Amino acid sequence: MTRLKLFLKNTILGGLLVILPVAIFLFILTWIFGFIRKLISPLTIIVMEKSPAQGLIADALVIAFLIFACFSIGVLVRTKAGKWIHTILESKIFLKAPGYMLIKETIFQFIGKSRPPFSSVALVQLFDNEVLSTAFITDEHEEEFYTVFIPTGPNPTSGLIYHMPRRLVHPVKVSIEEAMRSIISCGAGSSTIIAKRMEKEL
């Protein structure tokens, strides 16, 4: 009886682990599609009034038009004249709008067009003793100082910024992704980071 219960439990959990990610993925797709439809509804209404296209066909036509518009603008800003026009419009109008730069930087980070905020991983002697903290170097200064960001686990997006003397900052040859995994798992897997530091001392 115990084996049967265990079999049923493991089988149901196994099926759930297959179905749940698919269901969540489909839910997200549905939500995104609904959001896009709501966003383009004013254009869709115009298309439906001016042509026989209805419903999904009208939505598809509007989405195709938006993709073509993005492509056309992308081609334009690759030219010298287009870059000049974009620079003028951005400096004279858009940059004066509150929140524009924040939105722009967020989008650039999301699509991978912006330089990563962290240049490298380091172990820092935050209290000038033998205690080490995992940190990311965010800036380097001529006055023998580093600016570092020390994240909190398991949420690496929150933390504190410190400006520290170089003698207390020890860069290690570890990828940003590996350090992030260690922080998210509250220090598990940080042996590689410590090992790299020990190699430098040898």
Task: Answer whether residue 181 is part of any domain.
Answer: yes
pLDDT of residue 107: 64
Helix intervals (H) in 40-159: 41-50, 55-77, 80-92, 100-110
Whether the upstream peptide bond of residue 52 has omega within 30° of 0, thus cis, is no
Q: What's the angle, vertex CA 183, arms to CA 188 and CA 110, rounded to 5?
A: 135
Residue 22 is classified by DSSP as H
Residue 114's pLDDT is 52
| Residues spanned by the domain of 196 | 120-201
pLDDT at 135: 92
CA 159 from centroid of its chain's CA atoms:
17
Q: Coil, strand or helix: which one is 122?
A: strand
What are 121's two structure tokens? 């991983």
Q: CATH code at 127?
A: 2.30.30
In a domain, 103, yes or no: no
Write down the pLDDT at residue 53: 60
d(CA 179, CA 192): 9
Residue 134 lies in a domain: yes
pLDDT of 146: 92
CA atoms of 49 and 41, how far apart (whole Å): 12
How many domains would you assign to the chain? 2
- Is residue 133 within 8 Å of residue 148, measured between CB atoms? no
Q: What's the average pLDDT block by block, 10 residues per block, for the chain (202 residues)?
A: 69 69 75 76 73 69 78 83 82 75 64 63 90 90 88 83 93 87 85 80 58
Residue 64 lies in a domain: no
Asked whether the bond before 154 is cis by omega within 30 degrees of 0, the reply is: yes
pLDDT of residue 123: 93
**Is residue 78 one of the residues assigned to a domain?**
no
pLDDT score at 122: 92
Determine how many CB atoms are found less than 10 A away from the CB of residue 78. 9
